[in-house]
Amino acid sequence: MTAQLVIFLILAAIAVAGAVSVILQREPIHSAISLIAVMIALAGLFLLLESEFIAAVQIIVYAGAIMVLFVFVIMLLNAGAEERTNMSRMARYVGVPLAVFLLIELAYQVGAATSSMTAQPAADGATRGISMLLFQDFVFPFELTSILILIAILGALVLAQRSEGAPAQRAQQ
């Protein structure tokens, strides 16, 4: 076994264990931390593929920004421990088999698609390649996505303001 394979197995184990722990933890904040562990393990996997840029961005954006927001909201709402419910009959007899089926299907498809692939490191600095793709070849879809996100933010703002008193009142503040 090469050192790379060992590191891969460790990181993969952390990622899977973290993902399972996200679901199993009862405290919301423990789930959030498990998710952060998953993100960091994924960044490590990107590092193994020699795409340092993606690894750093993975940590900065997901672990550093989005998850901070999650933790912030959990702390702000002071969300308590979740209560366990026994699975409903529907979930037990339909949901679980479907979930297992989906898992097997995904594993099979991914395995089939990637069995002939070998990991190829990005030539001449992945950073340059990614920025070329984002800002030259696919600049239009990229900007379109940004506008889409902007619209979503504005929509959230409008919705949040509607529930809290009249708009005129808020404008004065």
Partner 1 sequence: MNDSLAHSILLVSLIKVLVLLFLVLTAVAYLVWFERKVAAHIQGRWGPYRVGPHGLLQPLADGAKFLLKEDTTPAGADRFLYFTAPVITLTLAISAIAMIPFGPASVRILGVATPLVIANINVGLLAIFAMTSIGVYGVALAGWSSNNKYSLLGGLRSSAQMISYELSLTLSVVGILLLAGTFNLSELILRQDGFTWGYLPKWNLLSPTFPQVLGLFCYFIAAIAETNRAPFDLAEAESEIVAGYHTEYSSFKFAMFFMGEYASMITVACLASILFLGGWLSPFPQTPGMDWTRYIPAAVFAASAVGLILDGLHHRSLARVVLPLLGLVLGALSFLCLQPAIIDYVQGPFWFLTKVLLVLFVYVWVRWTLPRFRYDQLMRFGWKFLFPVALLNVVVTSLAVVMRR
Catalog residues that contact partner 1 under the rule CB under 8 A.
27, 29, 33, 36, 40, 43, 52-53, 55-57, 59-60, 63-65, 68-69, 71-72, 75-76, 78, 125, 127
Q: Which 3 state secondary structure label does DSSP give 129? A: helix
Q: How far apart are CA 62 and CA 59, in angstroms?
A: 6
> Between residues 80 and 111, which has the closer beta carbon with respect to partner 1?
80
70 contacts 35 by C-beta, under 8 angstroms: yes
Structure tokens at 82: 């979740």
Residue type, 109: Q
> Between residues 24 and 103, which has the closer beta carbon with respect to partner 1?
24
Structure tokens at 170: 């808020």
> Between residues 78 and 163, which has the closer beta carbon with respect to partner 1?
78
Q: How far apart are CA 7 and CA 138, in angstroms?
A: 34
- Closest distance to partner 1 from the beta carbon of 88 (Å): 31
Token pair 């996100």 is at which residue? 149
> Between residues 36 and 41, which has the closer beta carbon with respect to partner 1?
36
Rounded to a whole number, what is the largest CA-CA distance in the chain?
A: 68
126 contacts 54 by C-beta, under 8 angstroms: yes
- Closest distance to partner 1 from the beta carbon of 68 (Å): 5
- Closest distance to partner 1 from the beta carbon of 45 (Å): 15
> Between residues 72 and 93, which has the closer beta carbon with respect to partner 1?
72
- Closest distance to partner 1 from the beta carbon of 59 (Å): 4
Structure tokens at 46: 């990107």
